[in-house]
Amino acid sequence: MNELTSPTAERASATGSAGAFWRAMWAVVWKDLSAEWRSRELLTGMLVFAVLVILIFNFALELDAKARASVTSGVLWVTFAFAGTLGLNRSMASEKDRGCLDGLLLAPVDRSAIYFGKAIGNLIFMLVVEMVVLPLYSVLYNTNLFHPGLLLVVLMGSIGYVAVGTLLSTMAVQARTRDILLPILLFPLVVPVMIAAVKASGGFLQGVPWEELKVWINLLLVYDVIFVAIAFMFFDYVVEE
């Protein structure tokens, strides 16, 4: 009888464990969104920074329409990268300064749920900034950025950037020089995703055939999958240090 019921018990245990994982992950996301809704510190800083970068580029690059089209993807991803780094740094620093990080680590949940919760929260903040930057850039540069392919690249590039950034910000937050350490660790690792995102974004805006863009889209996809898997496997070891 025990042999017959044990597989059912194992499946029930696995289902319960999966349910606890999802509940813990979304609890972390909800906590971050609720805290940001009350303070509006993180998102406001990211938005102000991104808008300033766009305005500076707008007045610095006094180019004709054709030249502006060629630099659009580079300007966009420079803006996204710097604003995203600011958000990643402040997201984990606020947890550390308020003592919330220790509380999260003491919670009886799988620590990978904490990672995915923080990563999803950071991704949401980054996407909100991008939703503001894209129409603002379109107005200032007189360029239509609402291309389905470009939006897909923005999403895939943001996922890769946040996947690596959330893991590294957890490492850097323990250091005294965390504001400087995170960009030093992050930027070399995100070079592949930034190059692929810039190339794919520029290709979609310039009407490059899909066959030429496929290699960059595949690179983004592979990067996202690999680094999400790496973060899933190593987050426990990172937070223990």
What is the domain extent for residue 34?
2-240
Per-residue pLDDT tens over the stretch 202-237:
898 888 888 889 999 999 999 999 999 998 888 887
| Higher-confidence position of 113 and 130 | 130
Per-residue pLDDT tens over the stretch 143-157:
788 888 899 999 999
Q: How far, in Å, CA of 149 to CA of 64, rounded?
A: 24
pLDDT given at position 3? 47
Under 8 Å between Cβ of 121 and 28 = yes
Q: Is the pTM of this model over 0.95?
A: no
Q: How far, in Å, CA of 173 to CA of 94, rounded?
A: 9
pLDDT given at position 53? 87
Give the gyration radius of the chain's Cα atoms. 20
Q: How many CB atoms lie within 10 A of CB 1?
A: 5
Q: How far, in Å, CA of 54 to CA of 202, rounded?
A: 17
**Two tokens, residue 50:** 């991104």
pLDDT given at position 63? 58
| Higher-confidence position of 175 and 89 | 89
**pLDDT greater than 90 at residue 181:** no
| 3-class state of residue 143 by DSSP | coil
Quote the number of domains for the chain: 1
Q: How confident is the model at residue 158 (pLDDT cuts 50, 70, 90)?
A: very high
**What is the overall mean pLDDT for the chain?**
82
Q: How confident is the model at residue 1 (pLDDT cuts 50, 70, 90)?
A: very low
Q: How far, in Å, CA of 20 to CA of 201, rounded?
A: 38
- Report the share of the chain in percent with pLDDT over 90: 30
pLDDT given at position 55? 84
